Amino acid sequence: MTTALHPDLENALFQAFEHLCRYASISSIRENIRAHTPPVSESLIPHSIATLRRMQTAHQSHIEIMEAVTHSEPKKTSQTSQVISPLDMKAFFKAIRKKSSKSHIKWLLWEFDDNLDGVIGWEEFRTGCSRNLSDSEGLALNQLFHIAIFLVCVPDETSSISMLELIDKLQKLRGTERIVEKVVLNLESLEKEPARRLSLKEFLEKMSADLPETYAKVDFL
Protein backbone atom coordinates (compact mmCIF):
# COMPACT_ATOMS: atom_id res chain seq x y z
CA MET A 1 0.00 0.00 0.00
CA THR A 2 1.35 3.43 -0.91
CA THR A 3 1.25 6.51 1.27
CA ALA A 4 -0.15 9.90 0.34
CA LEU A 5 2.38 12.39 -0.99
CA HIS A 6 2.76 15.89 0.39
CA PRO A 7 1.42 18.37 -2.22
CA ASP A 8 4.83 20.03 -2.70
CA LEU A 9 6.55 16.70 -3.32
CA GLU A 10 3.75 15.48 -5.58
CA ASN A 11 3.98 18.66 -7.64
CA ALA A 12 7.76 18.28 -7.97
CA LEU A 13 7.37 14.67 -9.11
CA PHE A 14 4.66 15.71 -11.54
CA GLN A 15 7.03 18.20 -13.16
CA ALA A 16 9.64 15.44 -13.48
CA PHE A 17 7.00 13.22 -15.12
CA GLU A 18 6.03 15.97 -17.57
CA HIS A 19 9.66 16.48 -18.46
CA LEU A 20 10.22 12.79 -19.20
CA CYS A 21 7.00 12.07 -21.09
CA ARG A 22 7.76 14.53 -23.88
CA TYR A 23 11.49 13.95 -24.04
CA ALA A 24 11.62 12.13 -27.37
CA SER A 25 9.64 14.82 -29.24
CA ILE A 26 11.59 17.72 -27.72
CA SER A 27 14.89 15.97 -28.39
CA SER A 28 13.93 15.36 -32.02
CA ILE A 29 13.04 19.02 -32.57
CA ARG A 30 16.26 20.22 -30.95
CA GLU A 31 18.35 17.94 -33.16
CA ASN A 32 16.44 19.13 -36.24
CA ILE A 33 17.13 22.77 -35.37
CA ARG A 34 20.81 22.07 -34.76
CA ALA A 35 21.05 20.19 -38.07
CA HIS A 36 19.72 23.22 -39.96
CA THR A 37 21.74 25.82 -38.08
CA PRO A 38 25.20 26.32 -39.63
CA PRO A 39 28.05 26.95 -37.17
CA VAL A 40 29.23 30.53 -36.92
CA SER A 41 32.90 30.98 -37.82
CA GLU A 42 35.00 34.13 -37.78
CA SER A 43 34.46 34.52 -41.51
CA LEU A 44 30.72 34.82 -40.87
CA ILE A 45 30.96 37.53 -38.22
CA PRO A 46 28.64 40.30 -39.45
CA HIS A 47 30.18 43.51 -40.67
CA SER A 48 26.98 45.52 -40.80
CA ILE A 49 24.00 46.22 -38.57
CA ALA A 50 21.64 44.77 -41.19
CA THR A 51 23.48 41.44 -41.23
CA LEU A 52 23.55 41.33 -37.45
CA ARG A 53 19.81 41.96 -37.26
CA ARG A 54 19.11 39.15 -39.74
CA MET A 55 21.15 36.76 -37.62
CA GLN A 56 19.38 37.88 -34.44
CA THR A 57 16.00 37.38 -36.10
CA ALA A 58 16.92 33.84 -37.15
CA HIS A 59 18.19 33.03 -33.66
CA GLN A 60 15.04 34.45 -32.07
CA SER A 61 12.91 32.30 -34.38
CA HIS A 62 14.66 29.19 -33.08
CA ILE A 63 14.07 30.30 -29.50
CA GLU A 64 10.38 30.95 -30.19
CA ILE A 65 10.00 27.51 -31.78
CA MET A 66 11.47 25.82 -28.72
CA GLU A 67 9.31 27.87 -26.34
CA ALA A 68 6.19 27.11 -28.36
CA VAL A 69 6.90 23.38 -28.26
CA THR A 70 7.69 23.49 -24.55
CA HIS A 71 4.41 25.23 -23.70
CA SER A 72 2.15 23.63 -26.30
CA GLU A 73 1.59 20.48 -24.27
CA PRO A 74 -1.79 20.55 -22.52
CA LYS A 75 -1.62 20.59 -18.73
CA LYS A 76 -1.52 17.00 -17.54
CA THR A 77 -3.63 15.59 -14.75
CA SER A 78 -4.33 12.07 -13.60
CA GLN A 79 -6.95 11.90 -16.35
CA THR A 80 -4.66 12.71 -19.27
CA SER A 81 -3.10 10.16 -21.59
CA GLN A 82 0.45 11.52 -21.54
CA VAL A 83 2.94 8.73 -20.93
CA ILE A 84 6.65 8.02 -20.66
CA SER A 85 7.56 5.73 -23.55
CA PRO A 86 10.66 3.67 -24.42
CA LEU A 87 11.54 6.34 -27.01
CA ASP A 88 11.45 9.03 -24.32
CA MET A 89 13.87 7.08 -22.13
CA LYS A 90 16.14 6.26 -25.07
CA ALA A 91 16.42 9.98 -25.90
CA PHE A 92 16.87 10.80 -22.22
CA PHE A 93 19.78 8.41 -21.75
CA LYS A 94 21.35 9.71 -24.94
CA ALA A 95 21.17 13.25 -23.55
CA ILE A 96 23.02 12.30 -20.37
CA ARG A 97 25.47 10.15 -22.36
CA LYS A 98 24.62 6.96 -20.54
CA LYS A 99 24.63 3.71 -22.49
CA SER A 100 21.38 1.84 -22.21
CA SER A 101 20.14 -1.26 -23.98
CA LYS A 102 16.61 -1.90 -25.17
CA SER A 103 16.25 -4.52 -22.44
CA HIS A 104 17.41 -2.08 -19.78
CA ILE A 105 14.79 0.46 -20.83
CA LYS A 106 12.09 -2.23 -20.79
CA TRP A 107 13.14 -3.23 -17.30
CA LEU A 108 13.22 0.35 -16.08
CA LEU A 109 9.68 1.07 -17.34
CA TRP A 110 8.37 -2.28 -16.13
CA GLU A 111 9.22 -1.25 -12.56
CA PHE A 112 6.33 1.24 -12.59
CA ASP A 113 4.20 -0.33 -15.35
CA ASP A 114 1.30 -1.66 -13.29
CA ASN A 115 -0.97 -2.37 -16.27
CA LEU A 116 1.88 -3.82 -18.38
CA ASP A 117 1.16 -1.73 -21.48
CA GLY A 118 4.81 -0.80 -22.00
CA VAL A 119 4.47 2.89 -21.07
CA ILE A 120 4.12 4.85 -17.81
CA GLY A 121 1.18 7.13 -17.08
CA TRP A 122 1.09 9.74 -14.33
CA GLU A 123 -0.80 7.57 -11.82
CA GLU A 124 1.68 4.72 -12.34
CA PHE A 125 4.59 7.14 -11.98
CA ARG A 126 3.10 8.66 -8.84
CA THR A 127 2.34 5.25 -7.33
CA GLY A 128 5.80 3.91 -8.12
CA CYS A 129 7.49 6.89 -6.51
CA SER A 130 5.21 6.63 -3.48
CA ARG A 131 6.15 2.96 -3.07
CA ASN A 132 9.81 3.90 -2.98
CA LEU A 133 9.32 6.81 -0.61
CA SER A 134 7.56 4.55 1.91
CA ASP A 135 9.83 1.52 1.40
CA SER A 136 11.54 0.63 4.68
CA GLU A 137 12.96 -2.72 3.53
CA GLY A 138 14.79 -1.64 0.38
CA LEU A 139 12.67 -3.93 -1.80
CA ALA A 140 10.95 -1.41 -4.09
CA LEU A 141 12.16 -1.32 -7.69
CA ASN A 142 13.87 2.04 -7.98
CA GLN A 143 15.74 2.83 -11.20
CA LEU A 144 13.09 5.19 -12.58
CA PHE A 145 12.54 6.54 -9.08
CA HIS A 146 16.19 7.60 -8.80
CA ILE A 147 15.87 9.51 -12.07
CA ALA A 148 12.74 11.21 -10.73
CA ILE A 149 14.46 12.17 -7.47
CA PHE A 150 17.39 13.75 -9.31
CA LEU A 151 15.01 15.71 -11.57
CA VAL A 152 13.12 16.95 -8.52
CA CYS A 153 16.36 18.59 -7.38
CA VAL A 154 17.91 19.41 -10.77
CA PRO A 155 15.27 20.12 -13.47
CA ASP A 156 17.97 20.10 -16.17
CA GLU A 157 19.31 16.55 -16.36
CA THR A 158 22.49 17.71 -18.11
CA SER A 159 23.43 19.87 -15.11
CA SER A 160 25.13 18.75 -11.91
CA ILE A 161 24.64 19.18 -8.18
CA SER A 162 26.73 18.68 -5.06
CA MET A 163 25.89 16.06 -2.46
CA LEU A 164 25.16 18.81 0.07
CA GLU A 165 22.79 20.66 -2.29
CA LEU A 166 21.01 17.45 -3.26
CA ILE A 167 20.38 16.44 0.34
CA ASP A 168 19.36 19.97 1.30
CA LYS A 169 16.75 20.16 -1.49
CA LEU A 170 15.34 16.73 -0.63
CA GLN A 171 15.10 17.54 3.07
CA LYS A 172 12.99 20.60 2.28
CA LEU A 173 10.31 18.28 0.87
CA ARG A 174 8.19 16.41 3.41
CA GLY A 175 8.13 12.65 3.00
CA THR A 176 11.66 12.17 1.68
CA GLU A 177 13.28 10.89 4.89
CA ARG A 178 13.98 7.37 3.59
CA ILE A 179 15.43 8.42 0.25
CA VAL A 180 17.62 10.98 2.03
CA GLU A 181 19.00 8.17 4.21
CA LYS A 182 19.74 6.09 1.13
CA VAL A 183 21.38 9.01 -0.69
CA VAL A 184 23.64 9.65 2.30
CA LEU A 185 24.54 5.94 2.46
CA ASN A 186 25.20 5.49 -1.27
CA LEU A 187 27.13 8.74 -1.62
CA GLU A 188 29.22 8.06 1.46
CA SER A 189 32.39 8.06 -0.67
CA LEU A 190 31.80 11.77 -1.39
CA GLU A 191 31.75 12.84 2.25
CA LYS A 192 35.34 14.08 2.04
CA GLU A 193 34.44 16.27 -0.94
CA PRO A 194 30.77 17.18 -0.37
CA ALA A 195 30.95 20.18 -2.69
CA ARG A 196 32.03 18.15 -5.73
CA ARG A 197 29.47 18.36 -8.52
CA LEU A 198 27.61 15.15 -9.30
CA SER A 199 26.06 14.47 -12.71
CA LEU A 200 22.88 12.45 -13.16
CA LYS A 201 24.92 9.67 -14.77
CA GLU A 202 27.18 9.46 -11.70
CA PHE A 203 24.21 9.67 -9.36
CA LEU A 204 22.47 6.74 -11.06
CA GLU A 205 25.62 4.62 -10.99
CA LYS A 206 26.10 5.16 -7.26
CA MET A 207 22.43 4.70 -6.38
CA SER A 208 22.20 1.49 -8.46
CA ALA A 209 25.42 -0.07 -7.20
CA ASP A 210 23.47 -2.91 -5.57
CA LEU A 211 21.85 -4.09 -8.81
CA PRO A 212 23.10 -7.37 -10.37
CA GLU A 213 25.67 -6.80 -13.13
CA THR A 214 23.54 -8.62 -15.71
CA TYR A 215 20.31 -6.71 -15.07
CA ALA A 216 20.54 -4.71 -18.30
CA LYS A 217 20.99 -7.86 -20.39
CA VAL A 218 17.83 -9.61 -19.25
CA ASP A 219 15.14 -9.42 -21.93
CA PHE A 220 12.07 -10.68 -20.12
CA LEU A 221 9.32 -8.66 -21.82
- Express each pLDDT in 131-140 by its tens digit: 999 998 888 9
Question: pLDDT for 102-118, tens place per residue?
Answer: 999 999 999 999 999 99
Question: Any idea which of 25-34, 78-87, 138-147, 180-189 has the lowest mean pLDDT?
Answer: 25-34
| Residue 151 pLDDT class (50, 70, 90 cuts) | very high
Give the residue-averaged pLDDT of 61-75.
Answer: 48
Residue at 205: amino acid letter: E
Q: Per mean pLDDT, which of 30-44, 124-138, 191-205 is the most reliable?
A: 124-138
Domain ranges of the chain: 7-26+82-216
Give the residue-averaged pLDDT of 44-69.
Answer: 54
Cα–Cα distance, 13 to 15 (Å, whole number)? 5
Instruction: Give the per-residue pLDDT at 38.
Output: 58
Residue 196 has pLDDT above 90, yes or no: no
Instruction: Give the per-residue pLDDT at 116.
Output: 95
Give the residue-averaged pLDDT of 18-36.
Answer: 69
Instruction: Give the per-residue pLDDT at 34.
Output: 53
Give the residue-averaged pLDDT of 170-179.
Answer: 95
| Residue 56 pLDDT class (50, 70, 90 cuts) | low
Question: Any idea which of 6-10, 36-40, 51-55, 216-220 has the lowest mean pLDDT?
Answer: 216-220
What does pTM read for this prediction?
0.74
